[in-house]
Amino acid sequence: MPISFTLDRIEIERFRGIEHLSLDLMFGIPTYLIGGNNSGKSTVINAIALALKGGGFYAFTPSKYDFYHAPSGIVADDFTITIRFKAASEYNLPAVHGVGSPVLVHGIRVVGEREDNRYSHRHLLIGADDKPIAISNNLPLKGEAKDKFKDHGINYRKHYVRIDDIQQHLPEVWLLSPSNLDNSLYHWKRGPLQRLAALLSKQFLETPWTFTAGGKNHPMPDSLMRAHSFFKTAVKDFPFWKDTLKPRLEASMSKCKLPLISGRS
């Protein structure tokens, strides 16, 4: 069943200037945040971008000011951001798999923690029970194997699944602001312009279409693939490369004596 879901709800606890907030996100209806300066509008948007690891937040590191400061001056020790998913059928939700049946992902939770001057955060995928999803990639050892391999560190253990396991299914985040413009827009790997270029390239190579040249219609992308194959073979068989440069490189490299590096001291 195809993966198709929307963001249904965001819940914020003690993140930046927001102590508590729950906001429903209606599908097909634009959501507008209206309020005065420092009322938390940008914080909500940043929280969504952080939870989805987009818009410059892929390399986020928390600081003291990401934790809620009460009017009394007390700084919170943690924060949570939870985004819940909604789909026509639960099988339209993304899923993760270890030993056993696949587990459907119902949302993402970001947990930030502060201890003294150390700050950390992690992304957790949550299931239908609102708890972080943990899976195992192996089965418990039993019988004689349990005793024979007890010191090998291969026994059954669970680990929390990562947001990277469903990253390809998450919606794009286009968050443009003066503070993250470079990361958000121009970053070579994750910026929306680069993602748009990747999307265009993929469609260019996969979508059936026709190109007219020289009075003839050329089916695309079949013609592209044939052209690529032609040039690849042509370069490989180019006389200067095949008969001159390649043999000289091979002869030079074969004379190089590289030291062997042992893995033991």
Q: In sequence order, which residues have a C-beta less than 8 Å from that of residue 144 and are 6 or more positions away?
A: none
Say if residue 22 is in the same domain as residue 144: yes
Q: Which residues pair with 135 in a beta bridge?
A: 159
What pLDDT is attached to residue 41?
Answer: 92
Alpha helix segments (H runs only) across 160-221? 181, 192-206
Q: Are residues 17 and 141 in the same domain?
A: yes
For the chain, residues with pLDDT lower than 70 are 155, 178-192, 255-265
Give me the domain span that covers residue 133: 6-173
d(CA 91, CA 88): 8
Domain count, the chain: 2
Residue 156's identity, in one-letter code, is Y
What is the predicted pLDDT for the residue at 188? 57
CA distance 92 to 128: 14
* CATH number, domain containing residue 80: 3.40.50
Q: How far apart are CA 111 and CA 49, in angstroms?
A: 14
Domain boundary, last residue among 147, 173, 199: 173
- Do 212 and 90 share a structural domain? no
Please classify residue 173 by burial: count the beta carbons closer than 10 Å to its beta carbon, then call 0-12 exposed, 13-18 middle and 19+ buried.
Answer: buried
Contact between residue 81 and residue 10 where contact means Cβ atoms under 8 Å apart: yes
Residue 176, phi then psi, degrees to nearest 5: -110, 120
111 and 162, same structural domain?
Answer: yes
- Amino acid 244: pLDDT: 93
18 and 120 both lie in a single domain? yes
pLDDT in tens, 20-43: 999 999 888 888 899 898 889 999
pLDDT at 161: 92
What per-residue confidence (pLDDT) applies to 265? 38
Q: Do 66 and 154 reside in the same domain of the chain?
A: yes
What φ, ψ does residue 209 adopt, rounded to 5°?
A: -155, 170
